[in-house]
Amino acid sequence: MIYLDHNATSPPRESVKAAMLAALDDVGNASSVHAAGRTARARVEQARDRVAALVDGASSSVIFTSGGTEANALALKGAVAGALAAEDRLTRLLVSAVEHESVRAAAVALSETVPGLKLGEIPVSHDGLIDLPALRLQLMQGKGRVLVSVMAANNETGVVQNIAEIGKLLRAEGGEGALLHVDAVQAVGRIPLSFRRLAADYMTVSAHKLGGPQGAGALLVKDGAPLAPLVDGGGQELGRRSGTENVAAIAGFGAAAESLRDMAAEVSRFALLRDRFEADLLRLAPDAVIFGAGAERIANTSNFAVPNLAAETALIALDLDGVAVSSGSACSSGKVKPSQVLAAMGVGQDLARCGLRLSFGWTSREEDVDAVISSLRRLIDRRAALAA
């Protein structure tokens, strides 16, 4: 199989599988005081250090979760409940128009259930970049404490947001106690990130986008940022997320983070593959549109449309050729609904229906580009024959 869907999930690396198997061979509960428990605890804490090191954060800021979705929910819902408990409640929640469904849905649920919490949507430009003047206006016009949630890189287009500028704007115009959450699920391991230096109070990471296991993730939280747990119980993760730790998955997450300490070589390889793919595509179909091409993008992602080549048809034909790509985000594909991200970028429905996403990862090779291009060539030739 030619697997070009690493933004949906990236297959576990060999070092990840080895770390998980080793952890599964231990029977300890990380909270137990006996030797087996201490071994499990050591694996969890080593993974915590490795995840923290990957994003230049303090180990104590890392809360392990069941993935990016839970970490996003913990950030938003935990911040709102935590601020309320500290009697400094949030009254405004601003979420960008291109956020992942897990952020959007959590924000909507909060605005429908928390009295006095108003939800606003931050628009994006044609290239998918947060509209900074619009955000400035939203910050200046509203009243009360605000939480802003923006992603570092978009899962569909790969467009990278200017988090430093957004942070500056928030500090200048957001008022007292303004908070920033960054969903960095698609950015970690693909661009250098420093949680310590970033103006963010919360940051979300997911293991399976890094070549770690599915069902593991983390929320990083700065000291002093409000946070109430979503799950109560045994008080694991310093009371911030109860439940027996999934030691094997956490160990795998740590191994994935460790393998990315020197990500530069991997990232420049993705850039070569992606740039070659896009150059070949434009030679094949000069009318193809590459979304977000005018903005900085993570090096592994290409989201494009060939006019009159419907994504659904293309996905099936590519699959028959053994090529796995995606249309829009994996979570909404299958539902055959137009991409919210492309709509927010002002892409018309007809073109958006043709949107395909290729995302490279650690398994990707030159031959994968050859395979997807020759598969697309057959489809594009057929399109030309039908139009003739």
Residue ranges binding ligand PLP (CB under 6 A): 67-69, 72, 100, 102, 151, 155, 183, 185-186, 206, 208, 217
Residue of 2, 22, 32, 3 lying closest to 244 (CA atoms):
32
**Backbone angles phi and psi of 245, in degrees to 5:** -65, 140
| Nearer Cβ to ligand PLP (188/318) | 188
Q: Which is nearer to ligand PLP, 41 or 209 (CB)?
A: 209
We find the least distance from the C-beta atom of residue 26 to ligand PLP, in angstroms, to be 25
Looking from the CA of 109 toward its CB, the CA atoms found within 13 Å total: 13
Which of residues 144 and 215 has its CB atom nearest to ligand PLP in the complex? 215
Strands (E), 202-324: 202-206, 217-221, 289-290, 301-305, 323-324
Alpha-carbon distance values, 300 to 74, 237, 374 (Å): 28, 33, 20
Residue 20 phi, psi (nearest 5): -70, -40
Measured from the CB of residue 153, what is the shortest distance to ligand PLP in angstroms? 8
**CB 138 within 8 Å of CB 148:** no
Let me know: does 357 contact 303? Beta carbons within 8 Å: yes
Whole-number minimum distance, CB 286 to ligand PLP, in Å?
31
Residue 231 is encoded by which pair of tokens? 């799950």
Q: How far is the CB of 75 from ligand PLP (least distance, A)?
A: 11
The answer to whether 331 is a known catalytic residue is yes
Least separation in angstroms between residue 73's CB and ligand PLP is 10
Structure-block tokens of residue 172: 């200048």
Which residue has its beta carbon closest to ligand PLP? 68
Q: One of 137, 331, 336, 384 is an active-site residue; which one? A: 331
For Cα atoms 70, 72, 73, give the angle at the middle one, nearest 5 degrees. Answer: 65
Q: Of 161 and 259, which CB lies nearer to ligand PLP in the complex structure?
A: 161
Compare residues 306 and 341 and give the one whose CB is closer to ligand PLP.
Answer: 341
Annotated catalytic sites, by residue?
331
